[in-house]
Structure 1
Amino acid sequence: MPSYYSEERYNGPEAISVAMDIGTTQSGVSFVHFSPGSQSGGQMVTQWPDQAYWTGGAKVPTMVSYQNGALKACGAEALQDFDEYPDNVAYWFKLHLHPAAIFPSNPSESETPPLPAGVTIEQVYADFMRYLMVNTQRFFEVTTPNGAEIWARSRDTMVIVLATPNGWDIREQAILRKAAIKASLVTEGNAGQLLQFVTEAEASVHYVLAQHPSQWLRNETVFAVVDCGGSTIDTAIYRCMSTTPLSLNETCPGQCVQAGSIFVNRGVQKLLEAKLKGSKFNSRGIIKSMTDAFERDVKPKFNGVRIQYDLKFGSHTDSDSINGIDRGRITLSNEELRPIFDAVINRILVSCSGDIIKQKSEYVLLVGGFGESSYLRKILSQKLIPYGIMVLTVGPCVKQAAAEGAIISHIKQVVVARAARATFGGCVRSLYDKNLHRERRDAIEVYADGNERVDGAFHVWITKGTVLQGTFAHKLSYHVAWDATATSKAELVHKLGEIGIEVFAWEGGNIPIWCKDEHGKILNGMRLICTLNANLSALAGGLQTMTGRNETRFYRVDYDVCVYFGGTQLRAKLQWREKGVLREGPVTIMPYVS
């Protein structure tokens, strides 16, 4: 795979990195062995238990089966359990993490299969991650000379990269982080350093550029990558800033909508259940066989023109003329199938076409399993060709774009600037401004420094659509004040403790002044994503005695919270000065999980 190798030889310490794409129906793993003096190249894991040996199959079913709440099997082995004991199998479990913002408006279209009794989503992810890691280790050891020794000496410093939908952020990452720790991929102590996240769209663009590195790309070319997965459609739009070396800037916030391949399958399943109602063929197993036949034989080549399609599901003895079954086959017409495809594709068009046209993209590159649909390409092309936009599919195995691209992105890192997907800010106690805060005149409080303040204001740190170069840092200056007449400085030293700053995201256009109402309730449209917690006890040496308005004396301590935005991740640290020396302390990020 020469196109997946870095251009330069690696000169750092020996290391291994593993990238996982846990998809709705299929998952994949890629890895890279960084060896001093060699060119680093990514490789897919192509050997999984109970699947055809060494056939090059780089995908494994995303399924986990349980027995009385205890893990029984994963992957293809769990797929066997699904036929006989479907209630014991966790499948499509990725839907349990999708945030409400990406759900379709019709609740019936976002139905999520329940998890097996007594099993949490964190446990399912942990069990599946452990399964992926164990088999990745086995594959590495049998395909790499001295693989067992290399793995053993690299294990404690191994970087794990998880590919996630564009619409996931800190809340979903927190659950995955706990699962990764439970699965022993990383530890509580090193997860912040060794566990990394990349959006599926960004991973896919690296896969695209590895497939076609220079055939169409030039400076200032704007192009979109639409990752059509099992449950989400992720869109990212990039401008090429340089071809030598290659660097890309994201031009606008990436889009994510719950509208993928499984929703076409679900529509076909419901169609079959309705057609065969009252028939002996309307059983769970037979309907599944028919749906599998549709997935395998019809969905990739459905074009909206052909009059009918045959699904072969049984033997020549299976016939029912009343219900249209002839010798193990059932026929579905174009009129029956097209509305099912259109319902999903229309959501895709609404999600991606506006930004693609607005940003004046020249190309749209389709990846992901549903990206192989000729009908999807046809409808998307009809929408975009009038704007001079060409729709293309990329590479021989678009289904594994995110899995393979995740490790390529770790090696090459050609995306150097990303657009903020929301307006981020903190909930603060703001100085009262009669022009901005008049509606809350009755809520004014006078603080120890003599200033009038109001609670619940939205302090904007970064606005939606801002293109961030690399890791963007925002320094937030805060202080705490106490009335000097009510307590002594010595007493205050013992009162310094935990502080918390709530972080909110606003997805809309016009940015509101407030994030909470007068009663402390979060306003509609505001999304609490996390709280930054820090302990101020170390700042005792920085307590100052000051004189405020009206000659009031008060004690004050100043500190900064430095927030770092990098890709989909958030980091923070505490800073303060003590006797002229800059000191730093940790900030704990506590994701909000509703």
Structure 2
Amino acid sequence: MNTRLPYTGDSRKLLLAFDLGTTYSGISYSVLDPSISPTIQPVTRYPSLEGTGSNAKIPTVICYDQNGIMRAAGAEAMSENVNDRIEEEEWVRCEKFKLHLRPPAKDAKSDIINQVISPLPPGKDVITLFADFYVYLFECAKAFIQQTHPSGMTFWSSIEDSIEFILSHPNGWEGRQQEQMRKAVVQGGLVSDDAKNARVHFVTEGEASLHFCIQKGLSEHVKEGEGIIIVDAGGGTVDISSYTSILTRDTGKYSFREIAAPFCDFSGSIFVTQRARTHIDGKLKNSKFYEDLGHITECFDKSTKLRFKDPAEPAFVKFGSLRDRDAACDVRSGQLKLKGSDVATFFEPSIMSITKAIDAQTTASKRPVSAVFLVGGFAASDWLFLKIQEYTKLLGLTIARPDSHVNKAVADGAVSFFLDHAVTARVSPYNYGVPVCKAFDGLDTEHISRRAQMFVDPSGVRRLAGQYDVILAKDILVSEETEFSRGYSRLGRSVSDLSTITTSIWRYNGEKEHPKWIDLENDKYSILCRITADTSVAAKSLKAQRRPDGTSYYRLNISVIMLFGMTELKAQLAWVEDGPAQVIYD
């Protein structure tokens, strides 16, 4: 039943949600007509896709020829014809390229990810691959809408200039990744550079999954004030978010607030398949079937992995004909036999990651948690569901999978996020602030030990660089309209020194509640973005100030403002004479 209020805009608009996933992608949309209640529709037909209907999804795969021209994408890129072209004409097929956009990290997990994903084609960057695939998704949506709606061509012409895009991304991605995704949409020609901020929106996969669950009746099973955990288990990442519900008495509807900082880990289903491939590689090393390793791994991924549910029973990977046999490596009648206990080990790291995250979320939550909802393509695995169910039972939590195709959760939920706005407050996942230079204190041992970093500012005051000032602390519940700001001063020897102001917003990812010195935990700090503003008008109105030695200098007072209440963090500079500021992600 559609309980949404009628759309109050004065002209027709199209919302397009692109869920560009690690292994599969989906599209959902909503046509907003004045005075009509919006509904959410999935795109259920794609070129060369055998399956249609509500479970339709396309592989996140793209092919380029030797000249760098995109030749196929989605299901078309997996066809026999394309396989021939790859072999005969050396086309390049890219899979799992989404993970090239992940936040930079130098650890063992990053090395594992690099082993799983395809290298970028020569001369291509990840933004170009995103742009090309977004264009492909757009063309799929356009064709579907034109074929589905009455007078399709005329209908499309009424909305093609009024399209807004909702792009989903993993919980752990922030401003830099969002900016690159936005650049991809512009590069693909889907929006102009001038309109990119107004027409491109972002939602985390965790929050999109919450909205999907709400559409499937979650609110009916959750008591007000209780906590729930959403586990979006996908191909590349597992995104875990926790919320509590608040009933609005006059409308009878629930709104939701985060009760713990969202979590993201690279422990999705592709890593189960990668561990299976490593095991099968060793098993078939001396067999004539070794050359079929890729095909056998693909068969495991599409069938065995989802069906497996008992480590006491052997698992079979059907890959060939009845004549295919090699008893020495457990191949009989075209099937590879695997020990159930071995298959269970393929899942174990992912299961451990999810259960550990659930435990951490329940510990961090400021409300008692009562239920876990499991969605995403990986949620279709019976063994994953059984093991998570087993663990949540120990914690006294119930667990459920929505009675719908869980792979459509993010695309549908992304549209619902835009329409229904169910989440009203979010928890800051990190500590955010700016580097500052404070006055040198000759009696402070921490200052004395850093005397080499001391300098004299234009006003003649001795200062010490390398300090960090918190603007928004970690684990703070932030509503959408809340601003966090801190005041600072910029000094210059001339007015021209203050005509442009640039400052950096930093992120601290350590354990200290009150971080202060950057050099103590260099690896825990990173630059989130830079804010640049034209302050020339304000600078011209400044009056010269005098040092005791008669030297003049100028002071411009500014405020750094952060808004974190939406899924896209916003930063601003403010000063007496207002002017636009530009946020730049390095």
Is the structural similarity TM-score above 0.5? yes
Q: Which residue pairs with 1:24 in the alignment?
A: 22
Match of 2:240 among 217, 232, 235: 235
Distance 2:49 2:152 in 1: 22
Compute the displacement of 1:465 (Å).
0.8
For the residue of structure 2 that corresponds to 1:9, the secondary structure is coil
**TM-superposed deviation, 1:547:** 4.9
The residue number in structure 1 matching 2:469 is 459
Structure 1 residue 239, shift from structure 2 partner: 0.9
Partner of 1:16: helix, strand, or coil? strand
Contact 2:531–2:572 (8 Å) recurs in 1: no
Gaps of 5+ in 1: 484-491, 578-582
> What is the Cα deviation at residue 443 of structure 1?
3.0
Equivalent of 1:497 in 470, 474, 499: 499
Is residue 306 of structure 2 the alignment partner of residue 312 of structure 1?
Answer: no
Determine whether 1:512 maps to 2:515: yes
Match of 2:558 in 1: 559
The Cα of 1:100 is off from its aligned counterpart by 4.2
What is the distance in 1 between the residues matched to 2:540 and 2:37? 51
The Cα shift of 1:302 comes to 1.6
Q: Note if contact 1:542-1:557 (Cα within 8 Å) is conserved in structure 2.
A: no
The alpha carbon displacement at 1:438 in A equals 4.1
Deviation for aligned residue 1:451: 3.2
1:256 to 260, 264, 278: 264
**Given residue 504 of structure 2, which amino acid in structure 1 is its aligned partner?**
E
Matches of residues 313-328 of structure 1 in structure 2 within 5 Å? 313-328=319-334
Relative to structure 1, is the Cα distance of residues 103 and 442 closer, same or farther in structure 2, using a 3 angstrom cutoff? Answer: closer
Name the structure 1 match of 2:430. Answer: 422
By how many angstroms is 1:505 displaced? 0.7
SS in 1 for 2:569: strand
SS in 2 for 1:318: coil
Bigger shift: residues 108-117 or 88-97 = 108-117
Shift of 1:36: 0.8
Give the superposition deviation at 1:199: 0.3
1:448 equivalent among 458, 466, 479: 458
The answer to whether residue 89 in structure 2 is matched with residue 90 in structure 1 is no
Q: 1:147 to 1:430 in 2, by over 3 A?
A: farther
Whether contact under 8 Å (2:267, 2:349) holds in the other structure is: no
SS class of match (1:251): strand
576, 579, 582: which one aligns with 1:588:
582
Shift of 1:185: 1.9
Q: Which residue of 2 aligns with 1:488?
A: none
The 1:133–1:106 alpha-carbon spacing in structure 2 relative to 1, beyond 3 Å, is: closer
Contact 2:321 2:333 in 1 (8 A): yes
Q: Structure 1 residues 408, 279: CA separation in 2 closer, same or farther (over 3 Å shift)?
A: same
Structure 1 residue 589: Cα displacement: 1.5
Q: Post-superposition shift, 1:213?
A: 4.1
1:573–1:584 Cα contact (<8 Å) kept: no
Kindly state the Cα deviation for residue 535 of structure 1 after the two structures are TM-superposed.
2.1
Counterpart position of 2:45: 47
Given that 1:102 and 1:258 are in contact with CA atoms closer than 8 Å, whether structure 2 keeps it comes out as no
Give the whole-Å Cα distance in 2 for the aligned partners of 1:357 and 1:372.
Answer: 27
SS of structure 2 residue aligned to 1:508: coil
Q: Which moved more, 1:38-47 or 1:340-349?
A: 340-349
Task: Label 1:227 to 1:97 Cα distance change in 2 as closer, same or farther (>3 A).
Answer: same
Shift of residue 270, structure 1, vs aligned partner: 1.8
* Alpha-carbon distance in structure 2 between the residues aligned to 1:344 and 1:328: 29
Measured in 2, the distance between the counterparts of 1:105 and 1:51 equals 33
Q: CA deviation at 1:455?
A: 1.6
Q: Following TM superposition, by how much is the alpha carbon of 1:326 offset from its aligned partner in structure 2, in angstroms?
A: 1.8
Q: What one-letter code is carried by the residue in structure 2 that aligns with 1:500?
A: T
Alpha-carbon deviation of 1:331? Answer: 1.4
Letter in 2 for 1:591: Y
**Structure 2 residue ranges without an equivalent (≥5):** none
Q: Return the offset for 1:15.
A: 1.0
Pick which of 497-506 and 204-213 moved more.
497-506
1:54 is displaced (CA, Å) by 4.3
Q: How does the TM-score come out when normalised to structure 2?
A: 0.91
Verify the 8 A CA contact 1:371 1:377 in the aligned structure 2.
Answer: yes
Alpha-carbon distance, 1:407 to partner:
0.7
Q: Relative to 1, partners in 2 of residues 1:141 and 1:557: Cα closer, same or farther, differing over 3 Å?
A: same
- Answer whether contact 1:6 1:41 (CA < 8 A) is retained: no
Are 2:419 and 1:411 equivalent residues in the alignment?
A: yes
Which residue matches 2:156? 151
More displaced 10-residue stretch of structure 1: 247-256 or 319-328: 319-328
Match of 1:473 in 2: 483
- Mapped partners of 1:437, 1:524: distance in 2: 21
Using the alignment, how far apart are the partners of 2:261 and 2:280 within structure 1?
39
Letter in 2 for 1:26: Y
For 1:469 and 1:101, the matched residues in 2 are separated by 30
| Distance in 1, Cα, partners of 2:171 & 2:53 | 31
Kindly provide the amino acid, as one letter, of the partner of residue 355 in structure 2. L
- Of residues 226-235 and 395-404 in structure 1, the stretch that sits farther from structure 2 once superposed is 395-404
Is the partner of 2:221 in helix, strand or coil? Answer: coil
Q: Cα gap change, 1:102/1:298 in structure 2, threshold over 3 Å: closer, same or farther?
A: farther
Residue type at the aligned position of 1:98? R
Range moving further from structure 2, 533-542 or 145-154: 145-154
197, 200, 218: which is aligned to 1:192? 197
**Structure-1 separation of matches of 2:221 and 2:547:** 64
How far off is 1:585 after superposition? 1.4
CA contact (8 A) 1:103 1:257 kept: no
What's the counterpart of residue 273 of structure 2?
A: 265
Instruction: Supply the distance in 2 between the matched residues of 1:102 and 1:337 (Cα, whole angstroms).
Output: 29
Q: How does the TM-score come out when normalised to structure 1?
A: 0.90
User: Are 1:160 and 1:185, in contact at CA under 8 Å, matched by a contact in 2?
Assistant: no
How far residue 288 of structure 1 moved from its aligned partner, in angstroms, is 3.2
1:41 deviation in Å? 0.8
Distance 2:468 2:579 in 1: 25
- Name the structure 2 match of 1:62: 60
Hey, what's the Cα distance between the residues in 2 that align with 1:282 and 1:275?
A: 9
For each residue in 1:216-243, what CA deviation from the matched residue of structure 2 results, as whole angstroms up to 9, or x when unmatched?
1221010000100001110000011225
Q: Residue by residue, what CA displacement relative to the aligned partner does 1:517-569 show, whole Å, maximum 9, x if unpaired?
A: 8xxxx922111121111222122343123356788754323333433224332
Cα distance in 2 for residues equivalent to 1:294 and 1:221: 39
Residue 215 to residue 561, structure 1, CA distance change in 2 (3 Å): closer
Q: Give the drift of 1:584.
A: 2.1
Query: Which residue of structure 2 lines up, in the alignment, with residue 79 of structure 1?
Result: 78
- Residues 493 and 551 (structure 1), Cα distance of their counterparts in 2 relative to 1, 3 Å cut: closer
